Chains A and B, each alone.
Chain A
Amino acid sequence: NAGVMQNPRHLVRRRGQEARLRCSPMKGHSHVYWYRQLPEEGLKFMVYLQKENIIDESGMPKERFSAEFPKEGPSILRIQQVVRGDSAAYFCASSPPGLAGGDEQYFGPGTRLTVT
């Protein structure tokens, strides 16, 4: 059973460009979470999605950031007009469907975004 897949693993963008980060959850998982980790800091929650629905986006910056999890295909985290402060590691996690409080999240290897 393949784990959570993220691509690309490394992404370099110039200021003002767009960054698209992809996440394929584990097979059978329908919950996806995105986290951001700045250098030497812990992970910060950004957004929680289920298929075709954004459930909690309380950690998303108000501008330039968006996320989706379509019925078919991977979840996408999109950053428009990137700035140097967006440079970070972006991690995706997935968990199984259902409301069981004990379900753990499985993390992908992350995408390291560098804005030059």
Chain B
Amino acid sequence: DAKTTQPPSMDCAEGRAANLPCNHSTISGNEYVYWYRQIHSQGPQYIIHGLKNNETNEMASLIITEDRKSSTLILPHATLRDTAVYYCIVRGVVASGTYKYIFGTGTRLKVLA
């Protein structure tokens, strides 16, 4: 079962920042938070990941709370092409070597012109 909870849908005006929240209250100390998005029915696209510190790359920023129980993905200037389903995933390093992702239902972000 997914270890994350996300709102099912959100709207955002084009050019504005999109802030997508994710709750992961049962996260363990060695578990990373990953964000992916899926546009239409394409394969999921990696966006960003983090463990404890906030992270930023050319696509987005990831803000993780100090207690690590929640995080927010920020798309600084949303465009119509950012319309997609966004998945927040908690992934741990298991001794057996399993790295599977457990996807939740995600947030369907719609960017409005």
What is A's interface to B at a CB cutoff of 8 Å?
4, 31, 33, 35, 41-45, 48, 50, 55-56, 58-59, 89, 91, 93, 95, 99, 101-110, 112
Which of B12-20, B63-71, B95-103 touches A? Answer: B95-103
Q: Judge whether A91 and B43 touch: CB under 8 Å.
A: yes
How many interface contacts (CB-CB < 8 Å) are there between A and B?
Answer: 74
Interface of A is mostly: strand
Give every chain A residue within 8 A of B92 (Cβ-Cβ).
Answer: 101
Query: How many chain B residues have a CB neighbour from A under 8 Å?
Result: 28
A64 vs B100: C-alpha distance when bound (angstroms): 22
Binary flags per residue of B54-91, CB closer than 8 Å to A gives 1, else 0: 00000000000000000000000000000000010001
Q: Judge whether B96 and A56 touch: CB under 8 Å.
A: yes
Asked whether A43 and B99 contact (CB < 8 A) given A101-B93, A110-B41, the answer is no
